[in-house]
Amino acid sequence: MFETISNKLQAVFKKLRGRGRLTEGNIKDALREVRLALLEADVNYKVVKIFLEKVEKRAIGEEVIGSLLPGQQMIKIVHEELVGLMGAGETEINMQKKPSTIMLVGLQGCGKTTVCAKLGYHFKERGKKSLLVPADTRRPAAREQLEVLGKEAGVPTYSNGSKKALDIVRDGVNEAERGGFDIVLIDTGGRLHIDNELMNELSEMKESIAPQEILLVVDAMTGQDAVREAEEFEGRLGIDGVVLTKLDGDARGGAAISVKAVTGKPIKFVGVGEKLNALEVFLPDRMASRLLGMGDVVSLVERMENLVAEEDRKKWEKKIAKETFSLEDLLSQFQITKRMGSMQELMEMLPGGRNLPAENLDSRFHKVEAIIRSMTVLERRNPDIIDGSRRRRIAVGSGTSVQEVNALLKQFNQMKKFMKNLKKRSVKGVFKWQLS
């Protein structure tokens, strides 16, 4: 799902993550690439503009530049703004009335009949009784199609033999009232294009039964066409929400990102396959993660923020600035890292992290810890005094080899050099090394 856009966005963020500190220039470059990725994914250009203005304002403000993990912080902002665009927590279906009537409308082939049966199944799984009502009288065999799918879903389909859509719908709703159904799902007829006849027919139906919800079904693969349809249906009929189908195909994501921002109406469900259970409640948060192709970066940033409190950070920064960072400090950094969870766990939360060979990281960390613990305090503070015989003693004490002790000392020296350089630019990036 959304491979192109998520690969592109991941590449942008990967570049950012490699940096200890971000400048306004870095951020602007990255946002230019984000812009291209969004436009290529067929996101409405006005939406792209507003979106990037918001992200830029936040990123160039303190949030990213002064951050612990600037790259991750940037992802977090983009993620949050995407969620904001797609509308957080508005996907509930109006179920105040019993039965609640839901009219499914949309163009031909967008997936109305399928969604009708899928919703029947969805509600059945949640203990609600639905009645499917076939009101597409134009397309031959439309009723049979709904019946077959309904049977498969274990949900009854209403029938009264009438050929008039309005009659079928009125009678269907009455039948549902008598039968104690919770929900009536109305499958309406579509057209290849929006025309007056279709709109009149649907408006008449709306007036006649006053449905609790009118859901517009649109095909995500049509990108901006789907958004235009939503705009037009909203303007001419009035809709309560959108069902975005065929997200399992090569949908580029543009429709998912733009619908709410352009029409003001939320996406309530998404279709992710032909099977009856391939329907998901639309969760902006999850959709944003999918678009970014990421694991749970947001919670990683939060964990990190909670753990390395501001004072701690100041203390570290001072140490680094004064170049008094010692192996003892390294050990306590390990402690912080450990409190965040295992390395394996942390890697998995990073975008693409699942593909990294993390199994050995935990044992490598343990080894380093053991080596430092086998040193005396004096050695930890002045690693320069660790000569050959001390190295042998430390290796034996920590159950490692002299080579491993050498490697750690070498690495520590490199780190100190790295920090010296870092100090010239900024000291804030130092915490990044643990994860890169």
Which token pair is 113?
Answer: 């009949």
Number of other residues whose CB lies within 10 A of the CB of residue 318: 12
In angstroms, rounded to a whole number, what is the distance separating the alpha carbons of residues 270 and 284? Answer: 11
Q: Which of residues 169-188 bind ligand GDP (CB under 6 A)?
A: none
Report what 245 binds from ligand GDP, Mg ion, none; CB cut-off 5-8 Å by kind: ligand GDP
- In the complex, least distance from residue 280 CB atom to ligand GDP, rounded to whole angstroms: 10
Are the CB atoms for 93 and 205 separated by under 8 Å? no
> Which window, 33-41, 98-106, 108-116, 154-162, contacts Mg ion (CB under 5 A)?
108-116
Q: Which of the choices ligand GDP, Mg ion, none does residue 75 contact, using the CB cut-off of 5 to 8 A by kind?
A: none
Binding-site size, ligand GDP (CB under 6 A)? 18
Judged by CB under 5 A, the residue of 10, 67, 72, 113 near Mg ion is 113
Compose the 96-115 pattern: x for residues touching ligand GDP by CB under 6 A, - for all others: ----------x-xxxxxxx-
β-strands 130-135, 279-281 pairing: unpaired
Residues 349-378 that bind ligand GDP (CB under 6 A): none
Nearer to ligand GDP, 271 or 429 (CB): 271
Q: How far is the CB of 190 from ligand GDP (least distance, A)?
A: 5
CB-based burial, 371-390: b 16+ in 10 Å, e otherwise: bbebbeeebbeebeebeeeb
Strands (E), 168-220: 183-188, 213-219
Q: Whole-angstrom Cα distance, residue 198 to residue 190?
A: 7
Which residues in the 259-298 window bind ligand GDP by CB under 6 A?
A: 271-274, 278
Residue 160 C-beta: closest distance to Mg ion, Å? 19
Site string for ligand GDP, 225-264 (x = CB under 6 A): --------------------xx-xx---------------
CA distances from 169 to 137, 289, 339 (A): 11, 39, 60
- 349 within 8 A of 297, measured Cβ to Cβ: yes
The residue count for binding Mg ion (CB under 5 A) is 2
Cα 96 from Cα 112, distance rounded (Å): 23
- Cβ neighbours for 98, distance < 8 A, ≥ 6 positions apart: 182
Judged by beta carbon, residue 84 or residue 249, the one nearer ligand GDP is 249
Task: Catalog residues that contact ligand GDP under the rule CB under 6 A.
Answer: 106, 108-114, 190, 245-246, 248-249, 271-274, 278
Q: What are the residues binding Mg ion (CB under 5 A)?
A: 112-113
